[in-house]
Amino acid sequence: MKYFDPHIHVYSRTVDDYEAMSAAGLRVIVEPAFWLGSERRYPETHFDYFHHVLTFEPERAKKYGIDHYCCLAMNPKEANNLEIAHQVIDGLPEYLKHDHCVAIGEVGFDKITDAEEEVMRRQLQLAKNLSMPVMIHTPHVNKREGTIRTIEILKEMDLDPQQVLLDHNNDDTIDVAVEYGGWIGMTLYPGKISVGGALEILERYGTDRMLINSAADWGPADPLSVAKARRDMRLRGIPMRRFKNWCGTTQFNFTSSLAN
């Protein structure tokens, strides 16, 4: 049974993880740009990272029968260094043209600062100009406040909700995310939402435009959490759907993270 993980940071995963994910049925992954654990001091280090996830990671995944795609962006965690952030965004379009890049992301709020909003707005404008999907990082703290402000910005900038994935939702944000009308992501990760919590939301709101992901990195993450959620959905009788995913590209026109 095939599935895809629409948000996983395999940059930080081992070959053992690839073996286990492949055996569990994972066939497609999307890797968003993220913070590498320490603050990068030069824009060029971001560009080297973009090159890595566009070239090396697809080849590594291919060895295990997995297709690798990515989202690229100036991530919110490092957006407060405006000098570097704007230089990275200046150079970003070159990398967005690559066949393996399917969206701009992650963008959004971390600490909900003016600098983060400035960087987010510039990248949302880029997504709008290029008609690219965009993955939104909702903040870890003051989550509801940050999510509501993000949606206000998306509306102000007239982004089409169908090109937007609001990620990392939980009970505090799910109602405003559903009301917004875009794609809704839930991350099965300690401190974000548990498998049981995500399934309760699916039972309440249904599976339409819902995506679940592992966001597995080098933290206490489980790269098999989507496969385990799929198993528990079946046991609880939650219907799984086939639909064209939020990226809207032919590469993903076979299944979603919730598909049977």
* pLDDT score, position 112: 97
**Ordered mean pLDDT values, 10 residues apiece, the chain (260 residues):** 91 95 95 91 97 97 97 96 97 96 97 97 97 96 97 98 96 97 95 94 92 92 93 84 46 40
Predicted TM-score of the model (pTM): 0.91
DSSP labels, 105-155:
EEEE-SS--HHHHHHHHHHHHHHHHHT--EEEE--SSSHHHHHHHHHHHHH
Task: List the domain range (segments joined by +) for residue 65.
Answer: 3-252
Q: Tell me, yes or no, whether 258 lies in a domain.
A: no
* pLDDT score, position 260: 38
CATH assignment at residue 47: 3.20.20.140
Reading the block at residue 153, the tokens are 């910005």
Instruction: Round to whole Å and give the CA distance between 205 and 186.
Output: 13
Q: Tell me, yes or no, whether 257 lies in a domain.
A: no
Q: Tell me, yes or no, whether 259 lies in a domain.
A: no
* pLDDT score, position 204: 93
Q: Tell me, yes or no, whether 134 lies in a domain.
A: yes
DSSP labels, the chain:
--EEESS--GGG--HHHHHHHHHHTEEEEEEE----SS---SHHHHHHHHHHHHHHHHHHHHTTT-EEEEEE---GGGTT-HHHHHHHHHHHHHHHTSTTEEEEEEEE-SS--HHHHHHHHHHHHHHHHHT--EEEE--SSSHHHHHHHHHHHHHHTT--GGGEEEES--TTTHHHHHHHTSEEEEEBBTTTB-HHHHHHHHHHH-STTEEEE---SSSS--TTHHHHHHHHHHHHT--------TT--GGGTT--TT--
* pLDDT score, position 20: 97
Cβ proximity of 34 and 72 under 8 Å? no
* pLDDT score, position 257: 47
* pLDDT score, position 243: 40
Q: Tell me, yes or no, whether 218 lies in a domain.
A: yes
Strand partners, 28: 4, 67
Domain count, the chain: 1
Instruction: Round to whole Å and give the CA distance between 76 and 33.
Output: 10
